Amino acid sequence: MAERFATEVKNLSEEQAAAELAELAAEIARHDERYHAEDNPEISDAEYDALRRRNLAIEQRFPDLVREDSPSRRVGYVALDKFEKVTHPIPMLSLENAFNDDDVKAFAERIRRFLSLDANASLRLTAEPKIDGLSLSLRYENGRLVTAATRGDGTVGENVTENAKTIADIPNVLAGEDIPEIVEIRGEVYMGHSAFLSLNERMAAEGKPTYVNPRNTAAGSLRQLDSAITATRPLNFFAYAWGEMSAMPRTTQMGMVEWMQEAGFRINPLMKRFDDVDTLLEHYRAIEKTRPELEYDIDGVVYKVDDLALQERLGLKARVPRWAIAHKFAAEKAWTILHAIDIQVGRTGALSPVARLEPVTVGGVVVTNATLHNEDYIKGVGSKGEVLRDGKDIRVGDHVMIQRAGDVIPQILDVDLEKRPDNAKPFSFPETCPACGSHAVRDINLKTGKTDSVRRCTGGLVCPAQAVEQLKHFVSRGALDIDGLGDKQVEAFYESGRIADAADIFTIRERDARSLKRLKDVEGWGETSAAKLFDAIDARRNADFYRFLFGLGIRHVGEQTAKDLARHYGDVETFNNAMAALAANDSEAREDLIGVDGIGETVTQALTEFFAESRNVDVWQRLLQKADPKPVEQAASDSPVAGKTVVFTGSLERMTRDEAKAMAERLGAKVSGSVSGKTDLLVAGPGAGSKLKKASELGVDTVDEDGWFQLIGRD
């Protein structure tokens, strides 16, 4: 796992980023299950937040690499079988995180840009403590509680209605008049500090195990199969949001929360409304200062756009609302001893140093490993040549300070030179790959003359570390997703010589039939399990086209980019013809590819290099001899722009550029960033320049913004 932290996000290559995102998705999913489903997290909130922050930072830099199983596209966990399932009419979403003042200011600026708000225009925001508890949805029909459900995976949660009825803060009947027919209130179940201490004292007196922290205890208490047990637990509930509503009693975030109080719910008294970011941040610091005095745990402050009409207009991005953000509190630090520095080799051949530490508890979590990024970081030099840690290098035997937060986690921040052993020597970074013995080098960027911060194995196809990881990538969830062919099976098949590259996977059944040692005779396998695997492989011969493209592991072609390519070309034959032309430096093929929205020079060059290499084409063709990727099905639509390629240019006055793109895609159009011979329509606002000129030269139909609305029937 250390490879994902080998380089700062801004210095990651696309291939590194893709590998890290795959690893982060798997680890975050595991922690989600531990936290939400088992109520037994193995890392702290700060460390978890940093993993998600790393993931989000990579996705923001490489939007084409966003995975289907990305943590940014899911919320929580899968509901347990022991509870009846409840489908949320409106998904319960998570929030984007901010970790400093600049992040909050950037959040406000993004809103202004999206809404085209003038710099002097008021942007009213609410601020409320982020309760560290268990999210709960309460559905009322005709004023009476009918269902209480946990968040679950954001779409399906667990029915805990009888348990929720035992919580005094949750009214069974809503108070007041003119209550909407359907009301869904959302909030957080928690346990106060004094109640938690009293419960632990009682458990100890009865000779029973005590609990670790209030959050886990509250979650476990609410999710008891026997509601009588829940009734004995001192649980509380803060209301702060809503889901399905047959009518909206108020038009602002603050107004809705105040209405909840009128209806009988407890709301947080620290929630306030502000007209500027500076006073918002002052409130954050005031809450942070009083945090130790609060009766309940909080891990940050949540900011939301107050005007509900603006919330609706802002909408969502990647399953998080654009109109809200969670400003998290800083993480903790600790000192420990560095016992060893190990070198790991990843799928891209990167040599990643990992610090092995004397176990140390930081905020309730035991840390034993930390990233050391790269050899320059160990020497105390930053990516731009800046001096780190006051010029202190890192040596085995050192007393080091670690932190479980930030862009990389855990990481070493400082070294105590006064405690450095006399025999401690500067770490000598290996110049040969520990996996295959090949020479390991640091590339030099020919354009800038700068040396890459990461040292890489030159073994390529002969390096077992890279070959196995490439195969794992090919069968991973985002790629071919072959049932029964996981990491362990890939490793075993590679070591035994059953598969050497991706094309071998689709010939394994026929080769096994001729083998002297059949798979069914291998320990751990049998005739049934071997047959199931072969059938699973056969079932993926007709997998979606984009899965094959993503599985090839082409640099800079992540899962989303693979989808964009598949959607643009439609089928394998069209794609292959285009790639052959691209590899032959055909200008029209290149122009067409660059014009695809989300595809740029970097991806185009990567595809050119890949398909210009005969060995790559050989693997691809051998794959296609045994597989038949499913063409992309074009969504049926009767809109006047369905299936057309649309380009927006100039200043748009009735909608922002993001809104225009989203609108066109909803109508079935393809949105491109540049004009080409395949462009069907150019929507040109004031100030349109080179794109308008090129459209005129190519004879592309052109309309202004009003013409666009007339065309789609929304004038």
Query: Which positions are catalytic?
Result: 130
What HEC string does 664-682 produce?
HHHCCCEECCCCCCCCCEE
- Cα(140)–Cα(441) distance, rounded to whole angstroms? 64
Give the HSE-up count for residue 612: Cα atoms under 13 Å, Cβ half-sphere: 11
Cβ neighbours, 10 Å, residue 340: 10
Q: What 3-state class would DSSP assign to 313?
A: helix
Beta carbons within 8 Å of 711's beta carbon, 6+ residues apart: 640, 641, 703
- Look at residues 364, 209, 224, 369 and name the one whose alpha carbon lies nearest to residue 299: 364
Q: Are 571 and 632 in contact (CB under 8 A)?
A: yes
308 Cα distance to chain centroid? 26
From 415, 429, 408, 399, select the one nearest 338 (Cα to Cα).
399
> What is the 3-class SS of 133-172, one letter each residue?
CEEEEEEEECCEEEEEEECCCCCEEEECHHHHCCCCCCCC
Using alpha carbons, select from 589, 577, 563 the residue that is nearest to residue 670: 563
* 145 CA to centre of own chain: 35
Beta carbons within 8 Å of 270's beta carbon, 6+ residues apart? 128, 129, 287
**Dist CA 108 CA 106 (whole Å):** 5
C-beta separation of 253 from 306 below 8 A? yes
Q: To the nearest 10°, report the CA torsion of 224, 227, 228, 230.
A: 60
Q: Are strands 701-703 and 681-684 parallel, antiparallel or unpaired?
A: parallel
All residues at 6 or more sequence positions from 249 whose CB lies less than 8 Å from its CB, including other chains: 178, 180, 255, 256, 259
